[in-house]
């Protein structure tokens, strides 16, 4: 499935199931989006018996808005909490307690249900006598509108999972909102969300659901649209990762989830341990990598706190837990465990990227075993000697210098323990793709030449003026003489071209081009159209010139 293409729901099944579903909508000070969420639930049709909207003591008029909506819609019931709970779990629990419907599902005030979602889930649950039915969640990045499927590998086809331990990948989908639950199943097993301000409450709730051993029906239909507003004045609880408290909360939620799965009363034999081990592997491959990518942007104090807390938590993992994780997360975990202080953060950032990259230097033990570094021989990388070339964490450095006569892109491919030379670098397909997933990109192919220092070089001239404004990411496909290929990204090299703003002639006027490094260290370029952007840059450059001539603070105008 192409994540850059919008996803549209499948037609609703016919005839419509009887009204037996409750949609619990929760919100706090989100009057701007609340009505859209409620209407998307009501628009699901007669399958929805009731919508229970729980206002967590808002002060922005959300309660009054819900009262007005309920006056016109008999299926809408409202609950207004007397005090704010501080989290998402308590209002969802209130909704579950209040429902009289056979099934229940959850919806956040800033998200929506796509047409046909409830019918698709209810049909699957009824057909398979399943306690839980779950479908595809789509992350919609706003304002661009780009849609990215969440955990698409789980939802390639419709299937019934008789017991969760038979499909341990279920632990990867920790969301509660893309699922339909049988109400008596939740009540019989006393499955509730953690109360109060509890970040990542979904982790614990989902673990409790899986631990109860339900029959789970999976469908490929999009059933939930998760609106991600990163530019909002106030980020959602889970998206706000600026403080160490967010990471600590994530680890605590994960720790509780692992304990719940490991001690599952419904599990027989090693089933609970299998689910717990899969959850720990997922933590290393997802959560650990995501936060490790951001460390170079954090303060030294944050880095030290993060490293100490992470090291303590990883010490509770056993060797089998680490071995069960994909290589990038496993390497990062072993590096953290081997060092009491933060180190090698740019290299770790590259390993944490998707796809992973391993930057030089490439150390070896006395027996030629690849290792992280000479002073950390216990962090071994022997898997690199046998891993297929198409999966190797190959490192490519990139430098982009925008120029009016043609922007020059230089790529340098690094050797990796002899594997690159053995495969024989041939050519590379370069593509600049729009971050929002729309519009044609820019493609070039160039041949590699050996540089004589264990690297291979190539250059290409790019017409950035042919592109529209926006953010453009560089994607690479490396092609080797032995017929193999490797899709990857390139590390932005610090140099005179990086972050430098250049005025270029564009197809529809002038453009302002700025190469930069993404949070994962990848090369990307911003293109800003029009005179306003150029005038702003000229004004800032003039201000810096005046400041420098006057001996002002050198850091005041840093970009």
Count of structural domains, the chain: 3
Contacts with 79 (C-beta within 8 Å, 6 or more apart), sequence order: 52, 53, 54, 55, 91, 94, 95, 98
Q: Are residues 377 and 400 in the same domain?
A: no
Examine residue 267 and state whether it is found in any structural domain, yes or no: yes
Cis peptide before 428 (omega within 30 of 0): no
Q: Are residues 220 and 296 in the same domain?
A: no
* Structure confidence by residue, pLDDT tens digits, 13-35: 444 557 899 999 999 999 999 99
Quote the percentage of the chain above a pLDDT of 90: 78
Examine residue 279 and state whether it is found in any structural domain, yes or no: yes
Q: Are residues 382 and 446 in the same domain?
A: no
Do 115 and 108 touch, CB atoms closer than 8 A? no
User: In which domain, by residue range, is 510 found?
Assistant: 391-531
Examine residue 540 and state whether it is found in any structural domain, yes or no: no
Q: What is the model's pLDDT at position 145?
A: 82
Q: What is the model's pLDDT at position 540?
A: 46
> Buried (b) or exposed (e) across 204-218, using 16+ Cβ within 10 A?
bbbbbbbbbbbbbbb
**pLDDT, mean of residues 3-14:** 39
Q: Are residues 290 and 359 in the same domain?
A: yes
Mean pLDDT of the chain: 89
Q: Is residue 72's pLDDT more than 70?
A: yes
Q: Which helix (H) or strand (E) holds 537?
A: helix 531-549
pLDDT band at 212 (very low <50, low <70, confident <90, very high): very high
Neighbours of 486 (CB within 10 A): 22
- Burial zone of 301 (CB within 10 Å; 0-12 exposed, 13-18 middle, 19+ buried): exposed
Q: What is the model's pLDDT at position 495?
A: 81
Q: What is the model's pLDDT at position 547?
A: 41
Q: Which position has the token pair 């609106």?
A: 227
pLDDT band at 415 (very low <50, low <70, confident <90, very high): very high
Examine residue 7 and state whether it is found in any structural domain, yes or no: no
Question: Rounded distance, CA 501 to CA 535, Å?
Answer: 12
CATH number of the domain encompassing residue 473 = 2.60.40
Question: Rounded distance, CA 348 to CA 372, Å?
Answer: 10
**pLDDT, mean of residues 465-493:** 94
Q: Is residue 39's pLDDT more than 70?
A: yes
Q: Which helix (H) or strand (E) holds 140?
A: strand 132-142
Q: Are residues 158 and 257 in the same domain?
A: no
Examine residue 317 and state whether it is found in any structural domain, yes or no: yes
Q: Is residue 534's pLDDT more than 80?
A: no
Q: Copy the structure tokens of residue 210.
A: 């899986």
Q: What is the model's pLDDT at position 23?
A: 98
3-class state of residue 332 by DSSP = helix
Examine residue 550 and state whether it is found in any structural domain, yes or no: no
Q: Are residues 360 and 449 in the same domain?
A: no
Q: Are residues 69 and 218 in the same domain?
A: yes
Do 459 and 411 touch, CB atoms closer than 8 A? yes
Examine residue 548 and state whether it is found in any structural domain, yes or no: no
**pLDDT, mean of residues 233-262:** 84
* Structure confidence by residue, pLDDT tens digits, 545-558: 444 444 333 333 33
Q: Is residue 250's pLDDT more than 90?
A: yes
Question: Rounded distance, CA 238 to CA 312, Å?
Answer: 22
**pLDDT, mean of residues 129-143:** 95
pLDDT band at 308 (very low <50, low <70, confident <90, very high): very high
Q: Are residues 47 and 170 in the same domain?
A: yes
Q: Which of 168, 201, 229 is the last residue of a domain?
A: 229
Q: Are residues 289 and 360 in the same domain?
A: yes
Neighbours of 337 (CB within 10 A): 16
Q: What is the model's pLDDT at position 438?
A: 77
Question: Rounded distance, CA 454 to CA 466, Å?
Answer: 35
Q: Which of 206, 229, 252 is the last residue of a domain?
A: 229
Q: Are residues 46 and 179 in the same domain?
A: yes
Q: Are residues 164 and 278 in the same domain?
A: no
Q: What is the model's pLDDT at position 232?
A: 52
Q: Which residues pair with 136 in a beta bridge?
A: 222
Q: Is residue 234's pLDDT more than 80?
A: no
Examine residue 225 and state whether it is found in any structural domain, yes or no: yes
- Greatest CA span in the chain, whole angstroms? 78
Q: What is the model's pLDDT at position 294?
A: 93
Q: What is the model's pLDDT at position 13?
A: 43
Q: Copy the structure tokens of residue 392.
A: 């190797």
- Burial zone of 187 (CB within 10 Å; 0-12 exposed, 13-18 middle, 19+ buried): middle
Question: Rounded distance, CA 403 to CA 461, Å?
Answer: 10
Do 523 and 491 touch, CB atoms closer than 8 A? yes
Name the CA dihedral angle for 541, 546, 550, 554, rounded to a multiple of 10 degrees. -20
Q: Which helix (H) or strand (E) holds 310?
A: helix 300-314
Q: Are residues 371 and 255 in the same domain?
A: yes
Q: Is residue 124's pLDDT more than 60?
A: yes
């Amino acid at each position: 499935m192409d994540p850059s293409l919008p996803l549209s729901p499948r037609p609703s099944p016919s005839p419509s199931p009887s009204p037996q579903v409750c949609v619990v909508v929760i919100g706090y000070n989100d009057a701007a989006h609340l009505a859209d969420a409620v209407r998307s639930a009501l628009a699901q049709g007669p399958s929805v018996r009731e919508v229970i909207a729980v206002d967590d003591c808002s002060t922005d008029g959300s309660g009054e808005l819900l009262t007005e909506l309920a006056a016109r819609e008999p299926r809408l019931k409202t609950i207004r909490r007397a005090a704010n709970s501080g989290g998402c779990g308590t209002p969802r629990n209130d909704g579950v307690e209040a429902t009289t419907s056979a099934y229940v599902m959850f919806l956040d005030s800033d998200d929506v249900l796509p047409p046909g979602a409830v019918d698709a889930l209810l049909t699957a649950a009824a057909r398979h006598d399943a306690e839980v039915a779950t479908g595809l969640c789509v992350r919609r990045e706003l304002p661009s509108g780009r849609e990215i499927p969440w955990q698409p590998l789980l939802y390639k086809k419709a299937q019934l999972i008789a017991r969760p331990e038979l499909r341990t990948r279920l632990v990867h989908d920790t969301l509660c909102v893309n699922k339909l639950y049988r109400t008596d199943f939740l009540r019989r097993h006393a499955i509730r969300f953690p109360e109060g301000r509890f970040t990542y409450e979904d982790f614990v709730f989902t673990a409790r659901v899986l631990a109860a051993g339900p029959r789970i029906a999976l469908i490929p239909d999009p059933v939930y649209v998760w609106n991600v507003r990163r530019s909002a004045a106030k980020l959602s609880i889970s998206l706000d990762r600026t403080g160490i408290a967010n990471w600590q909360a994530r680890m605590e939620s994960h720790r509780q989830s692992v304990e719940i799965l490991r001690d599952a009363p419904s599990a027989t034999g090693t089933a609970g341990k299998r689910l717990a081990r899969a959850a720990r592997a997922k933590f290393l491959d997802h959560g650990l990598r995501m936060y490790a990518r951001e460390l170079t942007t954090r303060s030294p104090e944050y880095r030290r706190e993060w490293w100490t807390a992470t090291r303590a938590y990883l010490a509770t993992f056993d060797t089998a837990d680490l071995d069960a994780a994909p290589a990038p997360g496993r390497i990062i975990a072993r590096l953290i465990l081997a060092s009491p202080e933060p180190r090698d953060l740019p290299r770790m950032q590259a390993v944490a990227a998707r796809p992973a990259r391993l930057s030089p230097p490439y150390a070896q033990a006395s027996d030629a075993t690849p290792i992280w570094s000479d002073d950390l021989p216990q962090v071994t990388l022997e898997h690199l000697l046998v891993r297929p070339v198409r999966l190797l964490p190959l490192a490519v450095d990139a430098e982009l210098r925008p120029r009016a006569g043609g922007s020059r892109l230089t790529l340098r491919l690094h050797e990796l323990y002899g594997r690159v030379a053995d495969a024989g670098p041939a050519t590379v397909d370069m593509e600049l793709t729009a971050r929002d997933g729309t519009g044609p990109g820019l493609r070039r192919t160039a041949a590699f030449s050996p540089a004589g220092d264990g690297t291979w070089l190539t250059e290409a001239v790019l017409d950035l003026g042919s592109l529209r404004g926006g953010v453009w990411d560089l994607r690479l496909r490396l092609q080797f003489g032995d017929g193999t290929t490797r899709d990857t990204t390139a590390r932005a090299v610090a140099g005179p071209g990086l972050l430098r703003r250049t005025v270029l002639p564009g197809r529809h006027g002038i453009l302002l081009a700025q190469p930069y490094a993404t949070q994962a260290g990848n090369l990307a370029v911003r293109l800003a159209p029009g005179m306003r952007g150029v005038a702003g840059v000229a004004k800032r450059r003039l201000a810096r010139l005046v400041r420098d001539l006057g001996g002002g603070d050198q850091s005041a105008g840093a970009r």
